[in-house]
Amino acid sequence: MTKHPLSDLDGDIRDHIDRETEENIARGMPPREARYAALRKFGSVALAQEDVRGVWIPVWLDQLRQDVRYGLRMFRCNPGFTAVAVLTLALGIGLTTAVFSVMHAVLIRPLPYSDGDRIVLVRETFRNARGSASAGHFHDWTAHATVFESTTAGQAAAVNLAGETIAPAQRPALRV
């Protein structure tokens, strides 16, 4: 397993300052002044650590980590706000999922039969009132229309549906 370069950063900085201090002592400086000169020459330790982190850790990842920690601290300080925020997110995600599921089922998913784009509905209109065609008209259309591969008549109806696991209810249906 390889070590992350940042795990030894503090030790490397200390080693660098210690070597510089020893070199200053070897040049004839007193130990305290040699250490101070080595620290001055190195510069800001915090700035050096930030520069190294900027090279090894993508900045956005470090900022994301800091933002998440800050957000969690704020949530702990304001539990009421946290509850409202979590509830709002849960409702938003739930509603989005429900709407997408309905849209997918109704608009996106292909029809459960082949050549669904070739199916048409033909209705009879009399004085701006739409309705089902009479049986005689349907038979005439079937006999004389050459544009349809096949025809089927249907009539809207309501049926009572019940079962062991289904509560009795009236449901819309189509008699074909």
How much of the chain exceeds pLDDT 90, in percent? Answer: 22
Look at the chain and count its residues. Answer: 176
How much of the chain exceeds pLDDT 70, in percent? Answer: 91
d(CA 17, CA 27): 15
Residue-wise pLDDT for 57-68, tens only, equals 677 787 889 999
> What was the pLDDT predicted at 5?
55
Is pLDDT larger for residue 93 or for residue 167? Answer: 93
3-state SS, residue 3: coil
Q: Which DSSP helix (H) or strand (E) runs through 31? A: helix 31-42
Rounded to 5 degrees, φ, ψ at 111 are -65, 150
Contact 88, 96 (CB under 8 A): no
> What was the pLDDT predicted at 91?
97
Residue-wise pLDDT for 105-155, tens only, equals 878 877 777 777 788 877 777 777 666 677 888 888 888 888 888 888 887
Question: Is 169 a residue whose pLDDT tops 60?
Answer: yes
Q: Which stretch of 8-12, 15-19, 67-71 has the lowest confidence by average pLDDT?
A: 8-12
> What was the pLDDT predicted at 3?
58
What's the pTM value of the predicted model, to 2 decimals?
0.34
Q: How confident is the model at residue 172 (pLDDT cuts 50, 70, 90)?
A: confident
The average pLDDT across 3-30 equals: 82
